Amino acid sequence: MTHLKSGIVAVRGARLAALTGTGLVLAACSGAATDDPSVSRAQALESTPVYSYADAIREAVWVETTLDNDGDGKPDKVAVDIVRPRLPAGDTTKVPVILEASPYYSNRGRGNEAELKAYDSSGVIRKMPLYYDNYFVPRGYAFIGVDLAGTNRSTGCLDVGGKEEILATKAVIDWLNGRATARRSNGTAVVADWTTGKVGMIGKSWDGTIANGVAATGVEGLTTIVPIAAISSWYVYVRANGTLRGSNRMSGLATSMSGRPSGVCDAQTRALRTGQEDATGNYNDFYAARDYIPDVSKVRASVFVVHGLNDWNVTPHQFGPWWSALAARNVPRKIWLPQVAHVDPFDFRRTEWVNTLHRWFDHWLLGLDNGIMQEPMAAVERAPGTWVDDAVWPAQGVHTESLPLGIGDGQTGTLGGLPSSTDAPLRTFTDVPSLTEASATSSPNTAKNGRLVFLSQKLSRAIRMSGAAQVKLRIRSNKPTSELTARLVDYGSASRNLSYRSGTDGIVNLTTSSCWGESSSGDDACYTDTKLDVANTDYGVITRGWLDAAHRDSLRNPSSLNSSTWYDVVVPLDVDDAVIDAGHVLGLVLVASDRDLTAPQTTGATIDVDLAASALRLPIVDLGATSVSARAVLAPAEDPALLVAPRIHAPPPADWPDSFDPTATFY
């Protein structure tokens, strides 16, 4: 690929062919340029920039909804800013839409540079954040930036992933397909007669979350979604299996992002504060209304997931169950799994991302047979900057290995070794609330209060895990409950992305920039270049997991522990894909409270662990080795739930009903 002076990406050796009846100029097969009508859409390779961005039509409309959650007696309206190609006179070409719905357009901004929407004196969009409009509008797409209800120029109130935000955004797609009403600022009704009605939603974090939620409504016209670091269950965003990840997260988000006058949304904020139920950690109807996975059977759109495996904000457990549910329904899908944290792929793999996204939209919104769906489903970053393609994800050949927890030497236990017959297979630890992750995971052979460490032998060959691991424990506690935290650690020197420990999310800005699309006097297409934040470290945390022990069997109905009773519990670890190199040691670190990534209600519990009934279950892909240690006890692969990142202890069946209760079994 080459960069033209305008910043537009072009393909070497491509010819331009005007396709009769489409009004689009598309890169097609080799040869001289021609107007031959026999060149079909199916023969085209990709859309190319033939429309002027500087001369694009820019307009604003307000789409009417059937909602009124601000209680003013008027239907809530969502503001829609549009940038679309200006066609030559007499050209009746209709264009598809790329849509991003966001609460951030007027406050925190979008992208690495926190760009905000900017308007001219008449209230028409002058600068649209990010590069989507700069790059895709010249290629025959419209770009739409939707202000979520209650933000910027929309009415209504934020309900943080609830029906207001989802249905109001759905109404925009309905308008694009002639099923809803929109008006200009002067009250004049306006019809979207310029679009094909095909819509692709995209966005990072909250924006991608809305894409997931709208797709789960089954709205007609939504053809594809590209959720980046997105939420599929808001319960999982504020909780981790009954543990509290942060207080007042839902009400706090609504308050900080609101664009409405003071007092207008107080009732909605109170409802959020009550519904989030911070005092219990329970899953309830409030969270069920913000859980999109039970409605996966309604999804009509293809899905391109991107999620950082070290995302400590929107954790990988958000994409895992969603991905598994899509797979059970055979939804067309693709996935990228980088090592960074909460980062847009534009800022860690820019050229490959723009090229792939371009081809994805060309296929799903323009119908171009460019072969992208015949390519590998998954791209996984094995090491910083080193990517490997996989035909499917989780990887082919993945199976479950169950590694027992051995008694060890009194300071560290063994991982993959049977407990000694001469020692009582029992280890005990007490909650130390001040214990940080850095302290808990460092110096694994040194005794430290508040933790248990189990170590494998040095690996004779590299192994790969792909999917969701679990820690099965038989415990006894002297308190009615306790948080349980598990970390899987790769002990061994390696170059690693510093996405969590450095606080950079895994990238750092450079002093250069690159351009991706065309610029106008008010909206440039150039963005700061970045590089991965990488260093050689002695060890790295692969994945983490949490459980409030009282929620061991149900998230809706917790039950206290009896101090004289042993209980079987499962701590699910976040979904991951990682290679542990030969010569490294695989470690399992158990503590109670996690002061770094949760806001635990510390009980000070002392916890006994029955090693003979406890194990680490790993979804393993053989890389020439059959086990992680010579003494490993292998379990048959009868537990496919471990391989597909479950939210329950069994994968959803093929006839998964729409009314499926995700809390019927453990979440």
Q: What is the pLDDT of residues 240-271, one digit of tens each?
A: 999 999 899 999 999 999 999 999 999 999 99
Q: pLDDT digit string (tens) for 465-474?
A: 999 999 999 9
pLDDT 10s digits, 409-458: 778 888 876 554 445 689 999 999 999 999 999 999 999 999 999 999 99
- CATH code for the domain of 278: 3.40.50.1820
Residue 60 confidence (pLDDT) above 90: yes
- Is residue 205 part of the annotated active site? The answer reads yes
Q: How high is the pLDDT of residue 424?
A: 61
pLDDT at 262: 95
Question: How many percent of the chain have pLDDT more than 70?
Answer: 85
Same domain (yes/no): 194, 329: yes
In a domain, 243, yes or no: yes
Can you give the pLDDT at residue 527?
97
201 and 276 together in one domain: yes
Same domain, 148 and 41: no
The helix (H) or strand (E) run that includes residue 357 is helix 350-366
Catalytic residue, chosen from 205, 232, 482, 593, is 205
In a domain, 666, yes or no: no
pTM of the model: 0.89
Residues 44 and 71 occupy one common structural domain? no
Could you tell me if residue 523 is inside a domain?
no
pLDDT at 425: 86
Q: Which of 225, 331, 281 is nearest to 652 (CA)?
A: 331
Q: Are 321 and 235 in contact (CB under 8 A)?
A: no
The more confidently predicted of residues 118 and 422 is 118
Q: Which two tokens stand for residue 124?
A: 């028409």
- For residues 160 and 145, state if they share a domain: yes
Q: Is residue 509 part of a domain?
A: no
Q: Tell whether 417 and 385 lie within a shared domain.
A: no
Which pLDDT does position 33 carry in this prediction? 32
Q: Looking at the domain assignment, is residue 512 inside a domain?
A: no
Largest Cα separation within the chain, whole Å, is 89
- Say whether both 446 and 317 belong to one domain: no
> What does the block give as tokens for 583?
């010569």
Contacts of 69 (CB under 8 A, 6+ apart): 76, 149, 156, 157, 159, 164, 268
Determine the pLDDT at residue 423: 55
pLDDT grade for 643, boundaries at 50, 70 and 90: very low
494-498 mean pLDDT: 94
pLDDT of 13? 28
pLDDT at 419: 53
Indicate if 58 and 177 belong to the same structural domain: yes
Q: What is the mean pLDDT of the chain?
A: 87
User: What's the distance, CA 256 to chain centroid?
Assistant: 22
Same domain for 161 and 36? no
Do the Cβ atoms of 154 and 79 come closer than 8 Å? yes
Mean pLDDT of 9-38: 33
Q: What are residue 386's DSSP bridge partners?
A: 383
CA atoms of 91 and 456, how far apart (whole Å): 68
Q: Annotated catalytic residue: which of 159, 302, 307, 342?
A: 342
Average pLDDT over residues 604-630: 79
Write down the pLDDT at residue 261: 95
Domain of residue 29 covers: 1-50
What's the total number of domains in the chain?
Answer: 3
Question: pLDDT category, 31, cuts 50, 70, 90?
Answer: very low
**Set 278, 295, 311, 610: catalytic member:** 311
